């Protein structure tokens, strides 16, 4: 079984670095939130997964054109 706590720790560290050095709505920040959502989904923590996925979605909505697929 994978060590998801270490994965979460490292994704959070990456997110902190991105948030320190990139604009708030940068796609890399959204991707980090999405990655964290994926880990929480994998460990069946669906409320946390949803929280991270929704945050990623809001950022992507702001940076991508409406017709982007």
Residue 11 domain-assigned (yes or no): yes
**Dihedral of alpha carbons 58, 64, 67, 68, sign:** negative
| Exposure b/e, 9-34, CB count within 10 A at least 16 = b | eebeebbeebeeeeeeeeebbbbbbb
Quote the number of domains for the chain: 1
Provide the CATH number for the domain around residue 25. Answer: 1.25.40
User: pLDDT tens, 48-68?
Assistant: 999 999 999 999 998 876 665
Residue 69 domain-assigned (yes or no): no
pLDDT of residue 64: 76
Residue 32 domain-assigned (yes or no): yes
User: pLDDT tens, 11-61?
Assistant: 999 999 999 999 999 999 999 999 999 999 999 999 999 999 999 999 999
Instruction: Tell me the whole-structure pTM to 2 decimals.
Output: 0.87
pLDDT of residue 65: 66
Range of the domain at 23: 4-63
């Amino acid at each position: 079984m994978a060590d998801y706590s270490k994965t979460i720790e490292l994704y959070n560290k990456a997110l902190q670095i991105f948030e320190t050095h990139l604009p708030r709505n940068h796609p890399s920040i959204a991707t980090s939130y999405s990655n964290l959502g994926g880990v929480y989904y994998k460990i069946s923590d669906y409320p946390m997964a949803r929280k991270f996925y929704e945050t990623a979605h809001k950022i992507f909505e702001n940076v991508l054109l409406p017709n982007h697929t």
